Structure 1
Amino acid sequence: MDLQAEYDNRARVPDHPRHLAAWQRDAAAWREACPRAELALSYGEGEREALDLFHPAAAGDAPLAMFIHGGYWQALDRSFASHCARGLNGRGFAVAVPSYDLCPAATLGGIVGQLRDAAAFLFRRHRRRILAVGHSAGGHLAAMLLGTDWRGLDPALPADLVAAALPVSGVFEIEPLLGTTIGAALRLTPAEARALSPRFLPSPRRPLHCLVGGAESGEFLRQSRDFAAAWGGTFESAPGADHFTVIAPFADPASAIVARAAALAPP
């Protein structure tokens, strides 16, 4: 199997620059249009350890979600994903969209730690458990949050701080990437890659739904299907969607996947 071809999504979708430009445009538009947004909240000391929090139009206590951007842990930031909060905002959710440091300057383990810090920051601030949603590398991070031993990090945190997850086109086994151009910047040994692979971690037995584009590579389809089975979750393939178009429905409060996310979230 040609793993480079399986995982190189930019090569698989030649017009990906158009999609990235549209994400930037739509994200900027939602930052302007969202009636109640808190921008650049620091959850750590680093420049990229910040998140934007988009509140629903109605004031008051709201369920809480986090949308984690992709970029294979090496590209992009929260400014490309603001619009992915719009769908859940329209269903009464507050949605946090964090940035994090990037490889190779950061380690993958360090990035996981940053997202844990972001989730803990949100809980301490809002006292709400979290639905973690993430795309691509963000799907991996959402899964790692779902599987985190929160009490081991801080006994004051609830064991199910991240109570449900909806990873989108995620990577749950890191080792197949190591020989590709995507994996080079991760600088992981096979043992380290396995330790950071949700597929091989104990299932937290919490709600999990894996979404992947139906037009994605066989490896992406396999990874989501196998991970959902391993952790007792559910699996869905979006017909005709590629790695970039699969997240479009998250901007639409009426979309089926946003309805699924809302139903998956903790009360």
Structure 2
Amino acid sequence: MDLQAEYDNRARVPENPAIIADWQRDAAAFRAQWAAAELGIPYGAGERERLDLFRPGPGEDWPIALFIHGGYWQALDRSFFSHMARGMLAEGVAVAVPSYDLCPQVTLATILDQMRAAALLLHRRTGRRVLATGHSAGGHLTAMLMATDWRALAPRLPADLVAAGLPISGVFELEPLLPTTIGAGLRLASAEARAMSPRWLPAPGLPLHAVVGGAESGEFLRQTRDFAAAWGGTAEAVPGANHFTVIAPLSEPGSPLTRRAAAMALAVR
């Protein structure tokens, strides 16, 4: 199998620069017009340890979702993805969109710790458990948050602080990335890659719905299917969607993906 071809999504979708430019434009326009937004909330001390919180209206008493961006842990930031909150906001769900530091400047373990800190901040601000969702690398981080032993971090935290997950086009087995150009930037040994692969971690027994684009590579389709089965969740391949277009429905109020995400967030208490 040509693992480079299977996992190199930018090569598989040559029009990706235009799609990403559209994300950046639409996200900026959304931030400019959404009144109930709090931008640049620090969840840590670093420059990129910030999140933007979009609420359906005033106050904190809203179900909450954490949307984690992709970029193979090596690119992009929250400013490209603000508009992905639009659909869930229309359903009465607040959405937080964080940035994080990038590999190879930091380790993947550091990024995971940052996303744990972001989820913890949201819980402490609102008293609520969190739905995690995310795209590509964000799908991996979504699953790792679900697998986190929160009480090991602080005994009084709920064991299911991240109480449900909706990963989109996630990577749940990292070892196949190691011989690719993507894996080079992660600087992971084989044992580390396996330890950071949610596919091989004990299933947390939480609600899980894994989504992938129907036009993605065989490896992305396989990883989504195998991971959902291993964790006792459900899986869905969106017909015709590629790795970049699969998240577009989150920006659309009333889309099936939006309704699924909102229903999962509304069920979290």
Report the TM-score range of the alignment, normalised by the length of the smaller protein: over 0.9
Q: How does 1:159-170 map onto structure 2 within 5 Å?
A: 159-170=159-170
The root-mean-square deviation of aligned C-alpha atoms, in Å, is: 0.8
Which blocks of at least 5 consecutive residues in structure 1 are unaligned?
none
Does the CA contact (< 8 Å) of 2:60 and 2:126 recur in 1? no
Take 1:187 and 1:246, find their aligned partners in 2: how far apart are those partners? 28
Does the CA contact (< 8 Å) of 1:7 and 1:217 recur in 2? yes
Partner of 1:72: 72
Partner of 1:123: 123
Take 1:96 and 1:42, find their aligned partners in 2: how far apart are those partners? 12
Partner of 1:249: 249
Q: How does 1:8-19 map onto structure 2 within 5 Å?
A: 8-19=8-19
Take 2:60 and 2:195, find their aligned partners in 1: how far apart are those partners? 40
Does the CA contact (< 8 Å) of 2:73 and 2:108 recur in 1? yes
What is the CA-CA distance between 1:262 and the residue it aligns to?
1.5
Partner of 1:22: 22
Take 1:233 and 1:58, find their aligned partners in 2: how far apart are those partners? 34
Which blocks of at least 5 consecutive residues in structure 2 are unaligned?
none
One-letter amino acid matched to 2:154: D
Take 1:147 and 1:253, find their aligned partners in 2: how far apart are those partners? 30
Secondary structure in structure 1 of the residue aligned to 2:247: helix
Take 1:163 and 1:23, find their aligned partners in 2: how far apart are those partners? 28
TM-score by length of structure 1 reads 0.99
Partner of 1:4: 4
One-letter amino acid matched to 1:187: R
Q: Which runs of 4+ in 1 moved over 3 A?
A: 57-60
One-letter amino acid matched to 1:26: D
Identity of aligned residues (%): 69
One-letter amino acid matched to 2:230: A
Secondary structure in structure 2 of the residue aligned to 1:246: coil
What is the CA-CA distance between 1:29 and the residue it aligns to?
1.0
Does the CA contact (< 8 Å) of 2:208 and 2:233 recur in 1? yes
Partner of 1:37: 37
One-letter amino acid matched to 2:186: L
Residues 110-135 of structure 1 deviation map (CA, whole Å, 9 limit, x = unaligned): 10011001101111111110000000
Take 2:31 and 2:212, find their aligned partners in 1: how far apart are those partners? 26
Partner of 2:143: 143
One-letter amino acid matched to 1:148: T
Partner of 1:153: 153
Does the CA contact (< 8 Å) of 2:88 and 2:253 recur in 1? yes
Partner of 2:100: 100
Take 1:219 and 1:185, find their aligned partners in 2: how far apart are those partners? 20
TM-score by length of structure 2 reads 0.98
Secondary structure in structure 1 of the residue aligned to 2:254: coil
Take 2:19 and 2:264, find their aligned partners in 1: how far apart are those partners? 28
Deviates more, 1:155-164 or 1:70-79: 155-164
Take 2:34 and 2:170, find their aligned partners in 1: how far apart are those partners? 27
One-letter amino acid matched to 2:191: A
What is the CA-CA distance between 1:252 and the residue it aligns to?
1.0
Take 2:144 and 2:60, find their aligned partners in 1: how far apart are those partners? 30
